[in-house]
Amino acid sequence: MEIQGKMIQILPEQRGESARGQWVRGSFVIETDGEYPRKVFFTAFGEDRSNMIKAIPVGTMVNVTFSVESREYPEGSGRWYTDARCIRVQPAAAPGEMPAPATGYAWAGNAPQAAAPAAPAAQPFAAAPAADALQNDDDLPF
């Protein structure tokens, strides 16, 4: 799923260790536009996603790709909670502007600027071969 809104808060990163090793969780809140704006809290697991969140300044309009999952905790208790997990967050493109890169890891505000490779020189248009050249009988099977 995807949603657009303004980044209004980036919460402190959380770190820990589980049986599977080290983990990092970033979280942030956006506010949607419209007649009835809504605030939505997202979590993002992993160092790369946490860095992706920290790279976007508060106040920026963003597109968030996410998944939603509900769980019962403790199991059998009848108490449920819903988690909106961020897959990718990137600055939203303004009207008439190019969209941010699809990876969501770098954008114009924090991407290192590299020189664009030089385009090859334009080649002149070659004239079509003469009709008698096309009638050439050669050894090709086609």
Predicted confidence at residue 3, as pLDDT, reads 95
In contact, 30 and 40? CB cutoff 8 Å: yes
- Which residue in this structure is represented by tokens 């505000």? 109
The helix (H) or strand (E) run that includes residue 60 is none
Highest-confidence range of 19-23, 112-116, 129-133, by mean pLDDT?
19-23
Tokens of 34: 């419209």
Task: Check pLDDT > 80 for residue 130.
Answer: no
For 52-89, the pLDDT digits (tens) are 999 999 999 999 999 999 999 889 999 999 999 999 99
pTM greater than 0.75 (yes/no): no
Q: 108 phi and psi, to 5 degrees? A: -55, -30
**Distance between CA 50 and CA 88 in Å, rounded?**
10
For 29-53, the pLDDT digits (tens) are 999 999 999 999 999 999 999 999 9
